[in-house]
Structure 1
Amino acid sequence: MSEEYDLTDEDLFDELLEEDDIFDELDEAELQELERPAKRLKTSPTADTPNSAHIALAERLLSEKFGYSSFRHEQAGAIQKTLAGENALVIFPTGAGKSLCYQIPAIAFPELDKTEGTRDSRNGGVTIVVSPLIALMKDQVDSLRKRGIAADSIDSTKSWDDVQMMYASLAKSELRILYCAPERLNNEGFIASMKDIPGGIRLVAVDEAHCISEWGHSFRPDYLKVARFVDEIKAERVVCLTATATPRVAEDICKAFSIKEDAVFKTSPYRPNLELSAKSIGTKTDDVFPQHVLQLMFPELSPHETVHRNDERFEELFKFLRANPGPTLVYVALQKQAEICADALTQKGFSAAAFHAGMKTEVKTQIQNDFMASKIQIVCATIAFGMGIDKADIRNVIHWDMANTVEEYSQQIGRAGRDGKTSRCLFMLTASSSYTRELFARGDLPSRESTRGLVREILLQGKGLSVGDVFKISQYSQTRDFDIRQSPLSIIYASLELHFGLVRAITPEYSAYKFEAMPAFHPIMKEDKTPAAQAILKNATKKVKFYAIDVNAAAGGSGYARLSRMDIVGKLNQLNAMGVIKLQTTGIEHRYQILKPLPTTIAEIDAVVDKLYVDMQNRERDALERGREVMELMTGQKCFARGLAEHFGMGLPDGKEKCSHCTFCRTGKRVISPPTPVAMTTAASIQAVLKATNVRDDPRFLARVAFGIKSPRVTQLKLDKHNVFRSLAHHSFVALLREFTKVCDMAQAS
């Protein structure tokens, strides 16, 4: 999974990475849970009433370490629950101080241990923070270290020496907080190490916890395994944190982590210093549609006029920024548009830069640093920018394109005005808004035939196997073979486990292990008489600088009947942690365990497919509905701030009906969105797409090409480079799907 968490950017529809690149990105997503039991450590006493000593300690640490005189919102209640050994859910708006709800307990544990006599300093344990962004982790670690708090992170950017220092600190109970990505919880070496930490895992903090919910706006299958990880390592307590949990999502989180009703702490997303406004703006469409499409949409215009058709958004943007100077975020949907906006602003004398997932890491880092230091005033960005950005004086947040969900909108405007000063949030409603929304909403649903082919391949892997047996499969090849992107592919596997109970993802394996022997390697291994050490010595083959070892062969050919692959891997990780070797792993093989007899007949498998596909269609409908909710928020007969609060099951403070300073409150009128031009589908336009490809087995594929949605198969056939790609973007996707279904049905009948 990309560190950028750029889930709604144009990058979603770009071509797949090469296989080796995917393996590199999956370094954090490698190997799932181990089965060894771990000891449950004694926790601080639980209390039904607030513990005054706990509260006093938390307030002192808040002042000494963070410089605040008092807690705000529901921070104190959440921290009290956590210190008392209970699980909790924290739902605070962006910028409201969620981090303190785990940072304070993490640094309080050693003092509680001492005063309550529960354990000594050599067994202090650690707090693990599960966070989806490498950039966010780095920022948090840097901030904590400046405050004298021992924190670190483990991610794919760390050097070998950095990782060794981190593990050494854990072994000495010197580290208080360790950040990691959710994918890291699947890594066999990491899990084994966490089970052996002196003092154990005191707290697991789950950031962006809404990703756990299958019906949340940012569901990520890897988050489903966080609860399993918590159980297997016997973490003492959990705190889940999010800014965007609707009542339905909050219920899912509480169920996953057994959080009681009185341990849910939430604060209204209402921010009195934010002025929310929306404006209906006429717009050209050449930022979305290619030249030949524009000519069909606007035949009254010459080609020159079409290309330079006035886009009122630019003038509105310039006027707004001249009237409201200061640090500004401009959110766009597509990478190309980020660059166009930044260039236009620069030409008008503004200090602006583009930011999106397609840029090099070092360039993005420099832009972020310059914005934080106020060397750049305006960043035109996709959703790739903003997560974890803690700049207090952002004065404006502008939505050039429509946010995909109300939750996304809430997060993005929450980055403005964290210093409490008045800040403005402008939402531009344009004719192209509905197209862009639909483009992303329809990107994850594969065709029924693709889904059927995938599920048949998965289930037929178990043919001849028994319950408990394991099979391996390549997800990379499946994305290409069945034209299914990685995100829906992962969801399909999760559904086969969670809803059908057929197969369970178990520890994936690295396909290759190699290591560089340090000077101490041979002396130590000569003295180590354990079966695993002897098997490594016997089976490791030196090739120039590195030793290569087949861990399965090493276990099977060791002569020790009870020696397993895990024993070999565990010993290699132990040697790596000791600095005796420098271990490198490459490649990945996904493994699945059969939970019950698998369907074997075509009829049985198709029954699974039918139920699964209905679920996937519901996900698409949910995505489209979330877009409709954004439009309703901006064009409805209600105060924006009130509508936003009610979306999350809350209201305005003190029972107020209005905020008095949003567009609706100021004008008393709803905002009317400009109509989207939709053309009638013609036989000629359909034939143009059909001439570009001989595909006749998948109407959704053909509709994707015409509408402008990339997929593995679209990219493989290079149709995204053809002039028919996005040629019918101004048509109804449903109408396109209906027309291409007729064509494919006729082709199959003949």
Structure 2
Amino acid sequence: MDENDEDDFGFSSGDEAALLATSEALEKGTKRKNTSFEDLSRSKKPATNANPVSDYLPLASAALTKTFGFKGFQLKQEQVVTRILGGESAVVVFPTGGGKSLCFQIPALVFADVDAQQNIRGPGEHGITLVVSPLIALMKDQVDALKRRGVAAATLDSTKTREEYLDTCDKLRQGHLKILYCAPERLNNEGFVEQMKFVRGGIRLLAVDEAHCISEWGHAFRPDYLKISRFVDEINAERVVCLTATATPRVAKDICDAFGIEITGLFRTSTYRPNLHLLAESAPTKQKLYPKLFQFLRANPGATIVYVTLQKETEALASELRTQGFKARAFHAGMQADVKQRLQDEFMACEDLIIVATIAFGMGIDKAMIRNVVHFNIPSSLESYSQEIGRAGRDGQISRCMFYVCSEDLHLRELFARGDLASKESVRGLLNEIFDDETTRFPVGGQYKANHALQTKEFDIRATTLKNIYAQLELRHGLLREITPIYTKYTYTAGASFSATLAHDTSPAARAIGKYGKRATKWYNIDVDFASKGVGIPRNDVIKKLNQWNEEGGIELKPSGVVSVYRILKPLPKTSSEIGKLVDDIFTLMQEREAQAMQRTDEVLELITGSDCFARKMAQHFGDDLPGGIKECRHCTWCLTHKPVAVEPAPPMSFNKVAFNSILERVPDRDDARFLARIAFGISSPRVTAMKLGRDPLFGSMGDHEFTVCPSFSQGISEM
């Protein structure tokens, strides 16, 4: 349900052709490898232990002061940096705003100095620190900040043009970069993996940001994160540092296990921040919370973030606040990038602006004087709550974190927790398509291509859930391995010299383009697969020729239509029994994850409705406690009142038989009871969108019921 701006493919418009050129360079680079940096950085334990580790600390401290302006390390930063410079890996669990980034940025700056001190590398052979981060906006912000400080940093993401991509590749070959950011999805790109194997000087450090995404039982699991440990081995990265602000003991152990890091390499600091006052209030209805919010904001002026769940609510609440005289703006992921950037800039510059936002706001916002963080809806987990309130009070001054709750929120909580689970029928349909007669005839090593966009619509499975299913087939069952995605559609406009180019270029690729490129008004369309087969040449030859002409200015090329590609690792299941076992296994795991999501929202409610100090309960959730063994923080709502926050239950509702029957009559499909329940409960899905039911009065007409209406629809279907 996250509204973050994710890099879905880690794949930009120029990559496919650029990687072809990279592959050719790699063939030449392989010869260089034996003479240039064969012994520089190809082992997990680099030769950095010749001197005592303490010899490196003056170098690290100097970089900290000169580049970042800090007089000294804080928390356990020095211990982490020392361990990394000593050649070992680490897991860092620091609170939001705790300086995690310096734990990889300082080593990245110091590696060259350490090498010079040991006299083991030449100029440009310092290698790079590769940072895997899930958010394009956050990568961009960090790279821009590093460049302003004179640090050679870059990012590879789907917003880059082909020219920008090639420029970054050139800097890597020349040894001009120290830090490179990329999205985890890019690790599926075979060309990128090969490219990282031959980076000049090697990968000195791989930093995994938001590392809690590795854990299947974490609050923000992303399957591509599970593949990072395999990537580390493939590129022979010297060491790894995993960083997160929100790891329970179980999640921290998952991270350590994934990278084979001993418990001595886990560095955790207290999650408790005494300047954050955790407060909570309830009301019977959302409408009755409005006066409480207005009163709180008047009593506590200053820069404020108000978090809500739905995009439309950001606009409505911001408008309401403005009518009350507050300076308020709405922010959500559906806005244009330039609008979002202006809002972020305005927030950074103002001391009294209130931003009403979805969770799309906040990542990368390094504003020290945020006085209040308000949750106007229930957060999805204690991890999310901790991360969001952690944006307040980074200047050390008292800041207040208000949590408002009412029974109306309980419906919204269930809607988001249950939104990702597809029906078992949908999973079965998907697997039957993947392992159809054609695919199962492919040999081991062959390639299976999947259009995820079409599959989400056809089988009513959300995109994130679909990726999780494919990840299970890859990581849990070892059937497929995701490799470089490809484009299915190429369009181009022809320049004035294009006809002459076609006439003089006698290569098979040029002949294929001339024969199979079809003009439609201004643009030409070409089916690359069809064209390459038509003249009997590799697909890549046609793509290379198109890009050559694009670079020369003869055409303007626009590829589109990404298709995911998987290599077959072992014989695929063929019988209905074999596929049925896979369906059972995958669906069971999906059900367990849905139960976990519901449990996480229960934990959030228990935080404020229980009889315990909020701060202590939060600390214990993360395997911590209050300092000095104290039992109470003395400034949360429990400590101030010693009364739990009571959430008044919604009045009992009789079963809405009219709405139930209307949904059965309105929707002719009888193949999926859970689909009907989604409509009743107001949970969107690809199928709901395709059938244009999202604005139908029936959509959400039973939203005040429990989701257990699902069995009722099963019974309703069987009786018809």
Give me the whole-angstrom Cα distance separating, in 1, the residues matched to 2:316 and 2:483.
45
- Alpha-carbon deviation of 1:406? 0.4
Is the partner of 1:733 in helix, strand or coil? coil
Is the partner of 1:395 in helix, strand or coil? strand
Is the partner of 1:725 in helix, strand or coil? coil
- Alpha-carbon deviation of 1:578? 12
* Alpha-carbon distance change, 80 to 59 in structure 1, aligned in 2, over 3 angstroms: same
- Alpha-carbon deviation of 1:117? 1.7
Is the partner of 1:55 in helix, strand or coil? helix
1:195 and 1:233 in contact (8 A); partners too = yes
Is the partner of 2:435 in helix, strand or coil? helix
2:427 and 2:587 in contact (8 A); partners too = yes
2:619 aligned with 1:617, yes or no?
no
- Alpha-carbon deviation of 1:403? 0.4
Question: Equivalent residue for 2:644?
Answer: 670
Summarize the alignment of residues 132-531 of structure 1 with structure 2, pairs less than 5 Å apart: 132-284=134-286, 311-374=287-350, 377-460=353-436, 461-512=438-489
- Alpha-carbon deviation of 1:596? 2.5
Structure 1 residue identity aligned to 2:619: A
2:96 aligned with 1:98, yes or no?
no
Structure 1 residue identity aligned to 2:40: K
Question: Equivalent residue for 2:718?
Answer: 745
Q: Deviations over 1:499-518 (max 9, x none)?
A: 22222223322224678999
- Alpha-carbon deviation of 1:480? 1.1
Q: Deviations over 1:235-255 (max 9, x none)?
A: 222211111111221222222
Give me the whole-angstrom Cα distance separating, in 2, the residues matched to 1:48 and 1:123.
18
- Alpha-carbon deviation of 1:28? 10
Residue-pair matches, total: 696
* Alpha-carbon distance change, 433 to 50 in structure 1, aligned in 2, over 3 angstroms: farther
Q: Deviations over 1:196-220 (max 9, x none)?
A: 3221222221111111212111111
- Alpha-carbon deviation of 1:494? 0.8
Structure 2 residue identity aligned to 1:86: E
* Alpha-carbon distance change, 597 to 540 in structure 1, aligned in 2, over 3 angstroms: same
Structure 1 residue identity aligned to 2:713: F
Question: Equivalent residue for 1:52?
Answer: 54
* Alpha-carbon distance change, 144 to 194 in structure 1, aligned in 2, over 3 angstroms: same
Question: Equivalent residue for 1:12?
Answer: none
Question: Equivalent residue for 1:701?
Answer: 675
Give me the whole-angstrom Cα distance separating, in 1, the residues matched to 2:541 and 2:228.
24
Give me the whole-angstrom Cα distance separating, in 2, the residues matched to 1:407 and 1:438.
17
- Alpha-carbon deviation of 1:136? 1.2
Q: Deviations over 1:594-649 (max 9, x none)?
A: 22322222222112211211111111101100000101112112111111111111
* Alpha-carbon distance change, 254 to 660 in structure 1, aligned in 2, over 3 angstroms: same
Structure 1 residue identity aligned to 2:653: A
Structure 1 residue identity aligned to 2:299: A
* Alpha-carbon distance change, 357 to 273 in structure 1, aligned in 2, over 3 angstroms: same
Give me the whole-angstrom Cα distance separating, in 2, the residues matched to 1:436 and 1:27.
38
Question: Equivalent residue for 2:4?
Answer: 4
Structure 1 residue identity aligned to 2:599: E
Is the partner of 1:328 in helix, strand or coil? strand
Question: Equivalent residue for 1:296?
Answer: none
Q: Deviations over 1:468-502 (max 9, x none)?
A: 32222222111111111111111111111222222
Gaps of 5+ in 1: 8-21, 285-310, 522-532
- Alpha-carbon deviation of 1:535? 6.7
Structure 2 residue identity aligned to 1:435: H
Question: Equivalent residue for 2:503?
Answer: none
Is the partner of 1:592 in helix, strand or coil? strand
Give me the whole-angstrom Cα distance separating, in 2, the residues matched to 1:101 and 1:268.
17
Give me the whole-angstrom Cα distance separating, in 1, the residues matched to 2:625 and 2:109.
34
Q: Deviations over 1:447-476 (max 9, x none)?
A: 111111111111225332333322222221
Over aligned residues, Cα RMSD in angstroms? 3.6
Structure 2 residue identity aligned to 1:489: L
Q: Deviations over 1:671-702 (max 9, x none)?
A: 11121334121432311222222122211111
Q: Deviations over 1:113-164 (max 9, x none)?
A: 2111221112222222111222212211221122111122222333444334
Q: TM-score by structure 1 length?
A: 0.85
2:91 and 2:256 in contact (8 A); partners too = yes
Is the partner of 1:467 in helix, strand or coil? coil
Give me the whole-angstrom Cα distance separating, in 2, the residues matched to 1:516 and 1:130.
36
Q: Deviations over 1:572-612 (max 9, x none)?
A: 99999999998754222222222232222222211221121
Q: Deviations over 1:11-34 (max 9, x none)?
A: xxxxxxxxxxx9999869989999
* Alpha-carbon distance change, 672 to 154 in structure 1, aligned in 2, over 3 angstroms: same
Give me the whole-angstrom Cα distance separating, in 2, the residues matched to 1:573 and 1:75.
46
Is the partner of 1:354 in helix, strand or coil? strand
Give me the whole-angstrom Cα distance separating, in 2, the residues matched to 1:29 and 1:407.
35
Give me the whole-angstrom Cα distance separating, in 2, the residues matched to 1:540 and 1:187.
26
Give me the whole-angstrom Cα distance separating, in 2, the residues matched to 1:486 and 1:237.
33
Q: Return the structure number with greater relative CO, CA threshold 8 A, min gap 6.
A: 1
Give me the whole-angstrom Cα distance separating, in 1, the residues matched to 2:272 and 2:363.
19
2:311 and 2:358 in contact (8 A); partners too = yes
Query: More displaced, 156-165 or 255-264?
Result: 156-165
Query: More displaced, 686-695 or 24-33?
Result: 24-33
Give me the whole-angstrom Cα distance separating, in 1, the residues matched to 2:267 and 2:203.
23
2:663 aligned with 1:689, yes or no?
yes
* Alpha-carbon distance change, 657 to 706 in structure 1, aligned in 2, over 3 angstroms: same
Query: More displaced, 564-573 or 71-80?
Result: 564-573
- Alpha-carbon deviation of 1:570? 8.6
1:462 and 1:594 in contact (8 A); partners too = no
Give me the whole-angstrom Cα distance separating, in 1, the residues matched to 2:672 and 2:415.
18
* Alpha-carbon distance change, 592 to 641 in structure 1, aligned in 2, over 3 angstroms: same
Give me the whole-angstrom Cα distance separating, in 1, the residues matched to 2:670 and 2:209.
45
Identity, in percent, stands at 50
* Alpha-carbon distance change, 607 to 156 in structure 1, aligned in 2, over 3 angstroms: closer
Which one of the candidate residues 652, 656, 659 is aligned to 2:630?
A: 656
* Alpha-carbon distance change, 607 to 193 in structure 1, aligned in 2, over 3 angstroms: closer
Structure 1 residue identity aligned to 2:140: K
* Alpha-carbon distance change, 574 to 187 in structure 1, aligned in 2, over 3 angstroms: farther
Which one of the candidate residues 60, 68, 75 is aligned to 2:70?
A: 68
Which one of the candidate residues 689, 698, 713 is aligned to 2:687?
A: 713
1:539 and 1:549 in contact (8 A); partners too = no
* Alpha-carbon distance change, 720 to 557 in structure 1, aligned in 2, over 3 angstroms: closer
2:303 and 2:370 in contact (8 A); partners too = yes
Query: More displaced, 362-371 or 645-654?
Result: 645-654
Structure 2 residue identity aligned to 1:505: E
2:173 and 2:199 in contact (8 A); partners too = yes
Q: Deviations over 1:394-424 (max 9, x none)?
A: 0000000010100000000000000111100
